[in-house]
């Protein structure tokens, strides 16, 4: 009897996993390094409209994350906070973006003293354009953790599809210096 119970439980779990996988939706859009970054407008943590095109001429780090106040997202945000002055000294703008609303971002930013802008993608449209949008069972929606380095002309120079949240900001900083050849520029001064 107990053996039949475990077999039935296994069969149910097997079909549940298949159902979840078949009902999960990622975005089919795949951006590549060298592509033009899709422009967007979103509300920031203060409720003001911000567009990617507002930063024309500047290097932008656009990092997508799943949810405010979750362990991995908090670790990543605090990592960017701790490296922010170094990154900013290169003339780089850091923008964090998730499907959370402006009020959630405001509280998250205040709680962890984040010095950079957080953008709200409540409807998931920006995440869809960047290929980070994920949905399970039609109710669980979030942006996959991905980061884009965008140059001053709006061209994607680097995409991080896998992120180690504890050291990601340092990796981004080093890559920006390398991609934009900051060491060479410093030695020419």
CB-count exposure of residue 55 (10 Å: 0-12, 13-18, 19+): middle
- The Cα–Cα gap between 71 and 24 comes to 23
CB atoms under 10 Å from CB of 42, counted, come to 21
Show the CA angle centred on residue 36, arms to residues 42 and 87, nearest 5°: 65
- The Cα–Cα gap between 27 and 12 comes to 28
- The Cα–Cα gap between 45 and 63 comes to 15
Annotated catalytic residue 78: no
Residue of 37, 61, 73, 95 marked catalytic = 73
* Three-state DSSP state, 113: coil
Instruction: Tell me the catalytic residues.
Output: 73
């Amino acid at each position: 009897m107990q053996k039949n119970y475990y077999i039935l439980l296994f069969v149910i779990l097997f079909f549940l996993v298949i159902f979840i996988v078949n009902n999960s939706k990622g975005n089919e859009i795949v951006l590549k390094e060298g592509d033009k970054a899709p422009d967007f407008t979103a509300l920031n943590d203060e409720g003001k409209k911000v567009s990617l095109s507002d930063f024309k001429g500047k290097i932008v780090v656009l990092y997508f994350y799943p949810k405010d106040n979750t362990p991995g997202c908090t670790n990543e945000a605090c990592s960017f906070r701790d490296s922010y002055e170094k990154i900013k000294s290169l003339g780089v703008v850091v923008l964090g973006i998730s499907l959370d609303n402006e009020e959630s971002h405001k509280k998250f930013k205040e709680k962890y003293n984040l010095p950079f802008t957080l953008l709200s993608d409540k409807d998931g449209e920006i995440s869809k354009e960047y290929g980070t949008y994920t949905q399970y069972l039609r109710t669980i929606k979030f942006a996959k953790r991905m980061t884009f380095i965008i140059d001053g002309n709006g061209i994607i120079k680097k995409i991080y599809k896998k992120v180690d949240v504890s050291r990601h900001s340092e990796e981004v900083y080093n890559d920006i210096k390398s991609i934009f050849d900051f060491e060479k520029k410093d030695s020419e001064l």
